[in-house]
Every structure is written in structure tokens, then in C-alpha cells.
Amino acid sequence: MRLNGEIGEEEEKKVAECLNTQAYSISGGFSQPQSQKLVVGYALTSKKKKSFLQPKLLCLARNKGIFFVPIDLKRPLSDQGPFDVVLHKLSGKDWCEVIEEYRQKHPEVAVLDPPDGIQHLHNRQSMLQDVADLNLSDCHGKVGVPRQLVITKDPSSIPYEVAKSGLKLPLVAKPLVVDGSAKSHELSLAYDQFSLTELEPPLVLQEFVNHGAILFKVYIVGETIKVVRRFSLPNVSKCELAKVSGVYRFPRVSSASASADDADLEPGVAEHPPRPLLEKLARELRRRLGLRLFNIDMIREHGTRDVFYVIDINYFPGYGKMPDYEHIFTDFLLSLVQSKYKKRPAT
């Protein structure tokens, strides 16, 4: 099955072999009768197509009666389909207007996800505000956000603004705008006040929280939650802070290549956040953001068992690196459409 040339010949062969050797009835999870088809129109960046629309996912989806169809961006969206689900991750004002207009005209189609909610996560100042407003102290742990400061002025003003705010060094610096580029995921660690002028606004400065060099990536797909461990920045001791100066840049700290799931770690560092805490956090963020596809980057304050911080939220993250993502995502799509049909008025 060729998807606009995005999948190469080798991948096509794998998909074809899979379809020829597997039955259409899948044991466990949801299944779709052969006579029914679920059509998912997708509008994704080239990078997202490559990482998400992998042969194994397409094969399993086909066996469950799910078909992924590329959306032609040169044609009106309403003239295409019909779709049961529209899956998108494109940026730009024009696309946001297109998808919002489509949502209004086609309430019977499940659009993943509303552009307003996605835009909320494109700014690191607004993305963590919903977490800061939560009160989860009664859910087997506490969740907060690091103290942070937004800098939009010239670099020479940063030391003064930091001193004025009372933020403590070291500070993590991140680009203010998250646009999907590699640069927007870069971060820097500033050890002293004088080096702050080396940073490039607009940016967000967060107080660095020692967390045992482990970050938890909490993947959300509808109501399903999957947690993986990633290696992160090491703790910074008071002695190190007194001796080290300058700004140290890191391209992408918690990428999939930094997996810590099989690492030999201290139990207090390796233990996942409590499930009830994650469930309530995910439920509240789904409600506040209006999103069903996102992930949360969490850390546990070193030396504690139940004090956590959310440091980033990403829309439609790299699910291809999430364990068993093919089954999770296809089951989610089927349940999503089934719930849509149940809500439709009888005719």
C-alpha cells in the first residue's frame, strides 16, 4: 500500500507479507468486521509520517479494518474522504483555520486534536500553567512545575531579571516557542549569573531540580497511559555549583536513544510515579487542554518519593518509540469511533 510515496518498497513488501499471512480477526482488544472500514485521513509532516506510519502499525491497522489515507493539502478538506478520523500534526495559521472549519462542518468526524489545544502547547509559558493550577496533593504524591521566568528582552537584561525574580542557579534555558524543530527541543544549563547574557531570548528559564538523572516520559493515548524512563541531566551539587561556570548546551536530553528502562538504578530513582497520580493528572490535562494525544515529561525531586515536577508537555509525541504502540493506537481509534456512533442521535 503506497502512501503518497512516503513508504519505500521494502516497507511495502513487509506490509504486503503481513496482510497475506495474518487473519482479519485479531484476538484480544478491539476488532472491526470485514464489511466495515474505519478511514483515517492524515496530514502529517514528513518526519512524523516516517516515525509513526511504520509497516507494523499499517499491517495491524489493516487487519482491524483501519485504513490510513493521506490528505491532499492542495484540495479542500471537505471535498475529501469521507473520514471517520482526521489525524493531523501540521503548523501554521492557514492549516489551523482549515481544520477548525472542518471540525465545525463535520462534527461526526473525530479530529485529533483541536487546534486551539495544540497551540496551547506551542508556548512553554502557557503549556505548564494548567499543571500549576492543579491540586493533586491527595493522589499519592504532589505534582508541580519548576519556578520559571519568561525572557523576551535582550540578553543583557537577563541577570537583572533573574535576580529580581529570586530564581536560584543553576537554571535550565529552553526556547519559548515549540515548533517541532530540533532547535526548539534544545536546552542549556546556566551555572552562574554572568553567563546568562550568553542565552538567546525569547526563552523560558526554569530552576533546575535535582532528579537523579532520570526523566519519566508519560505517553497519553486517549485514556491509556504508558510510562518509560529516560536518562536526563545529572544532579548538580553545591560544590559543583561553586566551581563550575558558563552555559552548557544539550541538543536533546531525553531522546529514545537515552532509554533507561533496562538500566540498573536505585529503587528510589527508578520507581515510576504512582498510577493513581498519573491517572488523575492525565484526566485533568485531557479535560483542560481538550487533547487526547500528548506526553508529559516528569521528574521526581531527588531524595523524595512523592514530589514530582512536570517540565514539558508535547503534542503527538514520538509514539513509534512507545512499547506496543501499534496495538494501543489501533484500539484507541476503534474505541474513539465506536463512542462517536453511540453519541449520534437515532434517525
Q: Tell me, what's the pLDDT at 342? A: 52
Assign residue 282 the CATH number of its domain. Answer: 3.30.470.20
Q: Which set of grid coordinates corresponds to residue 281?
A: 493528572
Claim to verify: residue 40 and residue 76 sit in the same structural domain: yes
Q: For the chain, what's the residue count?
A: 347
Q: Is residue 4 part of a domain?
A: no
Claim to verify: residue 148 and residue 206 sit in the same structural domain: yes
How far apart are the C-alpha atoms of 319 and 56, rounded to whole Å?
13
Q: Tell me, what's the pLDDT at 258? A: 67
- H/E segment holding residue 86: strand 85-89
Q: Is residue 46 part of a domain?
A: yes
- Selection from 181, 164, 162 nearest residue 173 by Cα: 162
Q: Which set of grid coordinates corresponds to residue 297?
A: 515529561
Q: Which residues contact 153 (CB under 8 A, 6 or more apart)?
A: 161, 201
Please report, in range form, the residues annotated as the binding site for Mg(2+).
297, 312, 314
Q: Is residue 50 part of a domain?
A: yes
Claim to verify: residue 45 and residue 103 sit in the same structural domain: yes
Please report, in range form, the residues annotated as the binding site.
48, 89, 124, 174, 185, 206-217, 232, 297, 312, 314, 318
Please report, in range form, the residues annotated as the binding site for 1D-myo-inositol 1,3,4-trisphosphate.
48, 89, 185, 217, 314, 318
Claim to verify: residue 62 and residue 161 sit in the same structural domain: no
Q: Tell me, what's the pLDDT at 341? A: 58
Q: Which set of grid coordinates corresponds to residue 70?
A: 493521506
Q: Is residue 121 part of a domain?
A: no
Claim to verify: residue 76 and residue 22 sit in the same structural domain: yes
Claim to verify: residue 62 and residue 138 sit in the same structural domain: no
Claim to verify: residue 208 and residue 101 sit in the same structural domain: no
Claim to verify: residue 47 and residue 132 sit in the same structural domain: no
User: 272: left (phi > 0), else alpha (psi -120 to 50), else beta?
Assistant: beta
Q: What angle do CA 93, 176, 161 make, to 5 degrees?
A: 140
Q: Tell me, what's the pLDDT at 339? A: 74
Q: Which residues contact 83 (CB under 8 A, 6 or more apart)?
A: 39, 40, 41, 69, 109
Q: Please give the residue range of the domain that contains residue 85.
A: 9-113+325-343
How far apart are the C-alpha atoms of 251 and 175, rounded to whole Å?
12
Q: Is residue 235 part of a domain?
A: yes
How far apart are the C-alpha atoms of 212 and 202, rounded to whole Å?
29
Assign residue 41 the CATH number of its domain. Answer: 3.40.50.11370
Claim to verify: residue 169 and residue 202 sit in the same structural domain: yes
Q: Is residue 320 part of a domain?
A: no
Q: Is residue 1 part of a domain?
A: no
Claim to verify: residue 285 and residue 138 sit in the same structural domain: yes
Please report, in range form, the residues annotated as the binding site for ATP.
124, 174, 206-217, 232
Q: How many domains does the chain have?
A: 2
Q: Tell me, what's the pLDDT at 24? A: 34
Claim to verify: residue 164 and residue 294 sit in the same structural domain: yes
Q: Specify whether the CB–CB gap between 217 and 313 falls below 8 A.
A: no
Q: What is the largest CA-CA distance in the chain?
A: 74
Q: Is residue 89 part of a domain?
A: yes
- Selection from 286, 311, 306 nearest residue 208 by Cα: 311
Claim to verify: residue 134 and residue 270 sit in the same structural domain: yes
3-class DSSP assignment, residue 145: coil
Q: Tell me, what's the pLDDT at 183? A: 80
Return the percentage of the chain with pLDDT > 70, whole number.
Answer: 84
- H/E segment holding residue 327: helix 325-343
For the CA atoms of 47, 86, 83, 21, the dihedral, rounded to the nearest 10 degrees, stands at 50
How far apart are the C-alpha atoms of 32 and 14, rounded to whole Å?
22
Q: Tell me, what's the pLDDT at 137? A: 65
Q: Tell me, what's the pLDDT at 10? A: 53
* Residue ranges, the chain, pLDDT below 70: 1-35, 137-138, 252-258, 262, 340-347
Helices 55-63 + 9-21 axis angle, to 10: 30
pLDDT, tens digit, 9 for 90 and up, residues 268-299: 888 999 999 999 999 999 999 999 999 999 99
